[in-house]
Chain A
Amino acid sequence: MAKLVGGICCSHVPAIGAALDLGKTQEPYWTRVFSGFEKSKEWFRQMKPDVCIVVFNDHATAFSMDIVPTFALGCAAEFPPADEGWGPRPVPVVKGHPQLAAHIAQSVINDEFDLTVVNKMEVDHGLTVPLSLMFGQPEEWPCPVIPLAVNVVLFPPPSGKRCFDLGKAIRKAIESYPEDLRVVIFGTGGMSHQISGPRAGLINSEFDKAFLDSLAGDASYAKDIKHVTYMREAGAEGIEMVMWLVARGAMDAKVEEKYRFYTVPASNTAVGHIILENAA
């Protein structure tokens, strides 16, 4: 049977991708950020996942305002990196896992999560920056990836609790898949940031720390945070943190925090990162 071996959450700031792609990782500004992910790379080398499920949001790349799915699961065999206006990131094509993805789609829909199935999708920095942070700059990504796009662009996104519960349903789906696969789930986005309007630049480290603490615990505080609270306290775009709750919901009620990293800023954003394993 497939098994969920870990959950990781991290920010997906586009400037991190640009810094990597333009060879700026040795600049002091960026070594501060990238040094926080060295341990994560090591964790992945030891963990050797067969598949990663990456919960991310599309930033007006695959989805315009024509169609805005709340949850969209990528079931294709591959997902090309998108041109977001600066040219596509020079990263490998993301290979999917259509069989497991189809199984997850069926399982969670039967569990009353009416998600959208996507068979063709280009992926933007929301998905590829976390992969770069965890895997560096390889010729090929080390394992197939199942993208789960969550709408956080058009208000309202799904609630934190809904995201958490979807995570639980995904866990159930993973554990009912017959092949022995080691699966890691990513929650991405955040942490506090606002990139729009006169209040842009907002950062709230106290909020972020309480959120990380809650994820490392039972997440009962984090999953009930209201949308307006995210926006007021963690910035209009800080609401992306609901996506971390999908990953947390997929994990056991009791988790062990393996690693944590937090720094301000990367461009406009507080960078947070946590690695969780199910408590033994």
Chain B
Amino acid sequence: MAEKAIPNTPQKEYADIPGTFVFDADRSAQGYAINAFCMTLLKAENREKFKADEAAYLKQFNMNEEQTESILKRQWNRMLELGGNIYFTAKLGATDGLSFQQVAAKMTGMTQEGYAEMMLKGGRSVEGNRSKAEWEKKNG
């Protein structure tokens, strides 16, 4: 249901922000199962059960195949695109022993060292990163 495009929906004003998956009501509905799964990882015993057999553990949740695959393959951006929220998926990161910064680095396609260095130098500038058009120009 949530995955069907809603006809005549006006363009979301934040859809133009590049490299960003805004976690709005549509994504929340789409990704409920991903986020519900991630919440279970708050308990140490569940983290152990998940690590013991990831695919079997995920069967408890009503995820579609793409969502399951994104988790098994640790496709961090894809999880967000399919309705996961970063504060939830970070718990999967924690289960893997990753900090927020390590998870963030993976989503940028940079190495952990490269990302950490960028942050130390003041982070990613907003210049050239405000709109998708700017990204297209850069990559075009």
**What residues of chain A have their CB less than 8 Å away from a CB belonging to chain B?**
14-15, 18, 59-61, 64-66, 82-87, 153-156, 192, 194-205, 207, 227-228, 231-233, 236-237, 264-265, 267-268, 270
Dominant SS among interface residues on chain B: helix
State the CA gap A258–B83 with chains docked (Å).
Answer: 43
Beta-carbon nearest neighbor of A125 in chain B: B100
Whether the pair B42, A265 counts as a contact (CB closer than 8 A) is no
**What residues of chain B have their CB less than 8 Å away from a CB belonging to chain A?**
13-14, 17-25, 28, 32, 35-36, 38-39, 41-44, 47, 77, 80, 85-88, 90-91, 93-95, 99-101, 103-105, 107-109, 115, 118-120, 122-126, 129-131
Dominant SS among interface residues on chain A: loop
A197: chain B residues at CB < 8 Å are 19-21, 77, 80, 107
Beta-carbon nearest neighbor of B29 in chain A: A65
Residue in contact with B87 in the complex, picked from A60, A205, A207, A233, CB distance below 8 Å: A60
B99: chain A residues at CB < 8 Å are 15, 18, 267
State the CA gap A155–B23 with chains docked (Å).
Answer: 6
Question: What is the CB-to-nearest-CB distance from A66 to chain B, in angstroms, rounded to a whole number?
Answer: 8
B44: chain A residues at CB < 8 Å are 83, 87
Question: What is the CB-to-nearest-CB distance from B96 to chain A, in angstroms, rounded to a whole number?
Answer: 10
Whether the pair B38, A204 counts as a contact (CB closer than 8 A) is no
Given known contacts A197-B107, A199-B18, A232-B130, what 11 new A-B pairs fall within 8 Å (CB)? A60-B91, A61-B42, A85-B94, A155-B14, A197-B20, A198-B77, A203-B122, A232-B126, A265-B119, A267-B99, A267-B101
